[in-house]
Structure 1
Amino acid sequence: MEDVTYTKGLYTATATVRPVEGGEYRGIVTLERDEGAELENTVYEVEATSATEEEALEEAKALAHRILGEIEF
């Protein structure tokens, strides 16, 4: 499954999925802040697991939108 990337100003949020125990999946969001020479990364996890990769990716995309929506310049 391909990652989904969103950008807002200096911030890029990448939504992805990783398998967890029990055959379920968890959505992950990596938030990058590009400050020229410095690149800061923060990783966020969706709290709940999902039965399918598609559901987990949808949860990760929703989390990415929430994170980017809270960023103020």
Structure 2
Amino acid sequence: MEELTYTKGIYTARPGVQALDDGRFQGVVQLARDDATEPETMLYEVKGASATVTEALEEAKALAHQILGEIEL
């Protein structure tokens, strides 16, 4: 699968999916700040789980857009 990335200024968000122990999936977003001498990376998780990878990825994309939308440059 092609890696998705969204950027805003010095921030890069990478949505993805992680498998849960119960067979469901959870969307995650890795947010990196690209200008730091020591790169900062935060991991955000979608609240709740999805039945399919596709659903979880769509939720992760939405979360990535939300996070980047809230950042003030």
Name the TM tier (shorter chain): over 0.9
Q: How many Å apart are 1:6 and its aligned residue?
A: 0.3
- Residue 12 (1) aligns with residue 49 (2): no
Partner of 1:50: 50
- TM value normalised by structure 2: 0.93
Q: How many Å apart are 1:4 and its aligned residue?
A: 1.5
8 Å Cα contact 1:19-1:25 kept in structure 2: yes
Partner of 2:35: 35
Q: Which has a greater percent of strand? A: 1
SS of the equivalent of 2:72 reads coil
**Bigger CA drift: 59-68 or 36-45?**
36-45
- 2: CA distance between counterparts of 1:18 and 1:30? 12
- TM value normalised by structure 1: 0.93
SS of the equivalent of 1:4 reads coil
Partner of 2:59: 59
Q: Which runs of 4+ in 1 moved over 3 A?
A: none
SS of the equivalent of 1:21 reads coil
Q: Which has a greater percent of helix? A: 1
